[in-house]
Each structure stands twice: as C-alpha cells, then as structure tokens.
Amino acid sequence: MQDIEDILPDADWRDRYQGEMVTTEPSSLDVSRLLLDHPPTWIRSLMALRNRVVALFGLRTVEMVAGTSAGGFPVLSSTPQRTVLGFDDRHLDFRIVVDLEEKGSRQMVSITTIVRRKNLFGRLYLFVVGPFHRRIVPATMRPFCANVRPVSIGSERVNRPA
C-alpha cells in the first residue's frame, strides 16, 4: 500500500481520526460511502453554506450525492483496504484517505485528510475551515464507529494546526 506521504507529494497539512466500525463493511469504498453519503444534518447545512461561499470565489463545490463519488468527493483510487478521494483546486489540493484494517475480530477505520496549500488563499481557507474540520470528521464517523479519536501520522503530532 502506498505511503500516506506519497499520496499527495509536498502536502503541508494532515490529520487522522480512527475508530472501530460498529458493523463490518466489505471494503474501504463501502465505508467511504457509508460515512460520507450520510452526514449529520448540521454538516449538510455547513457544506451547503460552504458551497455558496466558495462559488463566489470561483472555487469547486462539493455535491452531496452518491455515484462515482463518496459524499460528493470524487473517488481517485480504491482497493478493499484503501480508498482515496479528493480533487485539486486553485487554492489547494486535498485528499481524503479511508483505510480499513482488520484487527482480530474488530474492523478499524482511519480517515486521513491531506492538504497541499498552493497560495495565501489556500492558507486562509484552511485557517477558517480547520476548526470545523476537526469537529466534522469525528461527527461523521461516530454514527458508524466506536471510540473515535485523533491519532498521529508517523512521527507527526496529532491534529497539526492550520
């Protein structure tokens, strides 16, 4: 499996959350769709607001629909153990990596967000959305996962600041 660092070269921001699936799923793509296609209502509302605001700046919006995506995020690659979603925009490139791992009778899921900020607007954007992101990811996982928590990525601290 590809190292996290190689998924988005020169990324300058990342975080990871992990939890234990309450019911097992056959693949990382199934988990991606379960988590991202069914966000809590308050997250749907925030995403709709985000889409309206970023459209004013000519940035890409995220449509919360199923299909060749999960939660509106395009699927870039997928194996049973790992699905990579995301897209590149003028201000930043991002990836959402959903890893699925069997640990005995438990099925662990890790959600890693990786960002490469391209300019000052990308830095400002992440500064503004960072606090929401740190609440959205665990809230998206909790209906389907137990013991959701931030975890480190290699030697990095947990939840690098925006």
3-state secondary structure of 135: helix
Which residues contact residue 146 at a Cβ distance below 8 angstroms, ignoring those fewer than 6 apart?
A: 19, 20, 22
Domain segments of the chain: what residues? 10-150
Please state the φ and ψ torsions of residue 49, each to the nearest 5 degrees. -65, -45
pLDDT band at 60 (very low <50, low <70, confident <90, very high): low
* DSSP-derived secondary structure for 73-107: EEEEEE-SSEEEEEEE-SSEEEEEEEEEEEETTEE
- Per-residue pLDDT reduced to its tens digit, 89-131: 888 999 999 999 999 999 999 999 999 999 998 999 899 889 8
Report the CATH fold assignment for 10-150. Answer: Alpha-D-Glucose-1,6-Bisphosphate; Chain A, domain 4 (3.30.530)
pTM: predicted TM-score of the whole model, two decimal places: 0.82
End-to-end Cα distance, the chain: 27
Compute the distance between CA of residue 144 and CA of residue 147 in angstroms, rounded to an integer: 10
Average pLDDT of the chain to the nearest whole number: 85
Asked which of 82-91, 97-106, 149-158 is least confident by mean pLDDT, the reply is: 149-158
In this structure, which amino acid lies at residue 49?
A: L
Please state the φ and ψ torsions of residue 116, each to the nearest 5 degrees. -115, 105
Q: Which residue has the higher pLDDT, 42 or 134?
A: 134
